[in-house]
Structure 1
Amino acid sequence: MKIRSRVLPRAILLASFVCGGLAVGQSAQAQVSVNIAIGVPPPAPVYEVVPAPRPGYVWAPGYWDWDDHHHKHAWKKGRWEHERPGYVYESPRWIQSRDGWVLVPGRWDDHHGKGKGPKGYHCPPGHAKKGEC
């Protein structure tokens, strides 16, 4: 397993500021992303029966996550997500990179194609509509 060395120190530094009592305005929000590449591909998906449609919700199918404590994949069962008008849910998926297998987390994507910038960068939901990406 490999943790990208540039991201982790930033995450630790940010955590030390947040946990250390640094005063930050309520509107300030930080997002920390740590990519972990593993050498083991995920197993085949587990078959789950999709429940009957539920008004106002979207079914998010189950997926294999990485359990770092046990050093193996762990199945996360499917669940209902609150519907977000104007967005489609993209399930988590594993991709193979030069460093190994990386889990791309599930997300809500603007189904009109807006919110995606150069080189596949994905603008977080709500930010594109505000002109922040």
Structure 2
Amino acid sequence: MFKKILIAGLVAASFASVPLASVAQQRTIIIREAPPPQREEAQPQMRRGYVWAPGHWEWRRGQHVWVAGHQVRARRGHHWEADRWVERNGRWELQRGRWARGDRDGDGVRNRDDARPNNPNKS
């Protein structure tokens, strides 16, 4: 009985230590074909506590596929940097969207570089 419980615990622990979803999301994609132009999307009314992650082109099975924008839960003291393609030496690399530290007032200036990071009257 004890042996079965021990084995079950070890199996469960081994699966818990492998974050499969995050591994799949972090793979680097580098291709030679430029992505199509960015699509214009109608941004829906935002839910309280969420920010907009705009749509982007993914590379799947040898072709570009559009992934629609969506709302993601906001993180205090961070702003969302959208997925984007960057060209380097004739190759295109998909840089995944991520949370970056600080722009509390949304004026495009990082808090550490902003003389007034909490300015409600940004212009």
TM-score (norm 2): 0.62
How far did 1:52 drift? 1.6
| Higher-helix-fraction structure | 2
TM-score (norm 1): 0.58
Classify the secondary structure of the residue corresponding to 2:58.
Answer: strand
How far did 1:29 drift? 6.7
2:34 equivalent to 1:34: no
2:45 equivalent to 1:52: yes
1:37, 1:99 within 8 Å by CA — same for their partners in 2? no
Residue type of the partner of 2:102?
H
RMSD: 2.7
Q: Which structure 1 residue ranges, 5 or more long, are not aligned? A: 1-20, 115-133
Q: Which has the greater radius of gyration?
A: 2
Q: Match of 2:79?
A: 88
* Alignment partner of 1:101 out of 74, 83, 92: 92
* Alignment partner of 2:63 out of 66, 72, 77: 72
Residue type of the partner of 2:92?
W
How many residues in Structure 1 have an aligned counterpart in Structure 2? 91
How far did 1:54 drift? 1.7
